[in-house]
Structures are given as C-alpha cells and as structure tokens.
Amino acid sequence: MNTALRQSREVPFFNYQALVKPQRKELLDVMGSVLDRGAFILQKELAEFEENAARYLKVKHFLGVADGTNAIEISLLAAGVKAGDEVILPSHTYVATAAAVHFIGAVPVLVECGADHLIDPASIKKALTSKTRCIVPVHLNGRTCAMDPIIEIARTNNLLIVEDAAQAFGSRYKNQAAGSFGAAGTISFYPAKVLGCFGDGGGILTNDSAVYEKLYALRDHGRDRDGNFVGWGKNCRLDNLQAAVLNFKLQSFDREIARRREIAALYGEVLGKVSEVTLPPAPIAQGDHFDIYQNYEIEADRRNDLKEYLLKNGIRTLIQWGGKPVHQLEALQFKSELPYTDRLFERCLMIPMNTSLSNDDALYVAERIRAFYRGN
C-alpha cells in the first residue's frame, strides 16, 4: 500500500460550527417561519415532526420531549417502574441513564458490557434479584444491542424493558428500530447526536398506546390530549423551534447515515489489518444489525500513547464519558466490581466520526494510527 502519508492537518473531534453551514439559508428560513408566527410551544412543527419520526422509525408513536434524560425518566415512570425497584443498566453509558433511574427513586444496578461494548446478557442474569423490575439496554455508538437474549431474560423473569437509544436514532436490529423492542425507547437530539438540534431535545418511541397516553401527560404537567389533568406530570416538552429544525433535518437524515457508514468503511479498509486495534464491525459485515455510527469507538493497545501521538498530529480523539464508566464515578459511590468494563476503559478510544469529515481527513486519521503502530 502507498506509504506516502497525507499531509499533516487539523482534525477536530466534532465541529459544532459546521452543523449549520451546508443548509444555513434553509435552516434560518425554517426558524424564521416559527418565530414570525410566534409558534413556540406544542405547535404544528412538533406534531409534524412526531408524525414523521414515527413513520421513519416504523413505530406507532413518537413523542418529542425536552432532552434524552427526561425521556428516560418519564419512560420508566410510564412503563411502571416504581420507587425501590431495581433497574439493571450497563456501566458503560452516560451517567444520565443512571440518574434517570435515581431520580424516580428506583435503584440503578450496573452491569458489564461485552465485546460489542453493549450490555452483556450474562451479566444481567447475575444481577437479577427479587427486586429487579426493569432492564435498560443502551444502544451505544449507533449500534442496537442484540436484543433476543435480553428479551428472553425479561420474558422469563417478568421484567420491563426501557431502551436508552439516545445514540441510536435509525439504528436497527433484525430490521426493527432501536427503541422499539420494549415498553419505550428514548432518543437524544443533543447537537452532537446523529440527528441533532440546536440546543437540547429528546424523544420517545413506543408501540404501546397505553404507555404513549401516560407519556403524553407526563411530558406536559399531567394534561391529556383534551387538556384534562389526569395525574402528576412534569414539564419536559420539546420546544417547537427545535422540532422545526429536526423536522427539516430528518428529510436528509438517510444521507447523513450513508455518509457515516462510508467513513466507517474507510476506517475499516485501512485499519482492518492493524492487529493492535479492534474496530467496530464494518457496514458490510453486520448481519442482523444496521449501525448508524453515532461514534466510532475502537480498542487500542497502548491507548494513551496513541491518543497523545494523534494529538501531536492534529487529530482530536475522545475517551467516552470523560474516561470513566458510571461505576467509577467516585461521587456516586457504586460498589460494583466490573473488571471487563474496567479493562475496556484502559483500551477504548473514539476517533473522529461525523459528516464534516472529508475522505482525506478520515484516511489521514487512519494512516496516522497505522503509522503509530509501525513506529514511523
């Protein structure tokens, strides 16, 4: 293979300024139209986006909410999780997943992930107690968990499933959308997520109409669709300006995913033979999975040296969650022993994966990783 390295360059991990650039005029028109009509809360664009998102994901219901964390909290409530219940989730997730469990008075129980970096069914089984009520699989990095064994554990133990699909809008397993396997699934529209808005935003998908009705009221002060108060609720509505942006961006979402999959294929081609790194599955080798590559999380020998070498070469990388899975956050005082996850966090690294990368950028990143292990 060609050994002449591409010229040195700066590759940011994520470029927030670039988000608006390709469609600046169209986006400002969309936002201007909302502002001119004074249509801020629970308006037409929100309803349209919810309908389009449900159709896109092939689910019965989609509900816009304030953010991905509130989405988890009210989904647990609507599914029927109660104070004191134990809820099993992977430690390799954002602290928000555990916080949502905590703030409804339930108990987060952290378990291991497997080689796919997703919750490990064997570890779920070990964590079951008489208080276990719910499993929260987290579809990390744009890959849907292999759901069959998880569904089987839930079925045989009479447990609920609420999926954290914050990183997996449009990802599928056996041709079924991430988030649609359990009572409800939650999405984040944080700007750096695959489908991002220009502030905070979130959503919930469900095929269960009873759960949907509960969610509808929980999102808006306990009011049902006729405006009647049917119980306690929160305020966690998705504002209409963000909904308008999302509705617009959904139109070109397939293109965004196709581009991410192209970049993953490029990484796979150059790095596939580097024995010191383990890559996520390439787009062509996914079997039951359709991955949307929210992130590209590799495992790497001498991870910290590699990270520093890449930085010296202008390439920004990131270790997920600031380098610590939830059970390692001292302030939260978990006593879990999760050696597999501990070991993974000495090796995992996210390299740039977003639609503002050019092919040359991606090839530069891959070449530098290869050069690091070759010692040149």
Ligand X SMILES: *Cc1c(COP(=O)(O)O)cnc(C)c1O
Q: Which residues contact ligand X (rule: CB under 6 A)?
A: 67-69, 93-94, 96-97, 138, 164, 166-167, 188, 190, 200, 202
Minimum Å gap between C-beta 318 and ligand X is: 12
Closer residue to ligand X (CB): 200 or 239? 200
Closer residue to ligand X (CB): 142 or 352? 142
Minimum Å gap between C-beta 193 and ligand X is: 6
Minimum Å gap between C-beta 38 and ligand X is: 26
**Amino acid at residue number 67:** D
Minimum Å gap between C-beta 70 and ligand X is: 7
Closer residue to ligand X (CB): 68 or 170? 68
CB neighbour list of residue 227: distance below 8 Å, 6 or more residues apart = none
**Amino acid at residue number 50:** E
Residue 223: Cβ-neighbour burial (10 angstroms; 0-12, 13-18, 19+): middle
Closer residue to ligand X (CB): 69 or 171? 69
Residue 186's φ and ψ, nearest 5 degrees, are -115, 145
Closer residue to ligand X (CB): 200 or 297? 200
CB-nearest residue to ligand X: 68
CB atoms within 10 A of CB 73: 23
Closer residue to ligand X (CB): 200 or 361? 200
202 has which bridge partners? 65, 188
Contacts 24+ apart (CB under 8 A), 107-114: 107/131, 108/326, 109/336, 110/325, 110/326, 110/327, 110/334, 110/336, 110/338, 111/336, 111/338, 112/338, 112/340, 112/341, 113/140, 113/340, 113/341, 113/344, 114/340
CB atoms within 10 A of CB 220: 20
Minimum Å gap between C-beta 100 and ligand X is: 8
Minimum Å gap between C-beta 99 and ligand X is: 9
Closer residue to ligand X (CB): 91 or 313? 91
**Amino acid at residue number 155:** R
Minimum Å gap between C-beta 187 and ligand X is: 8
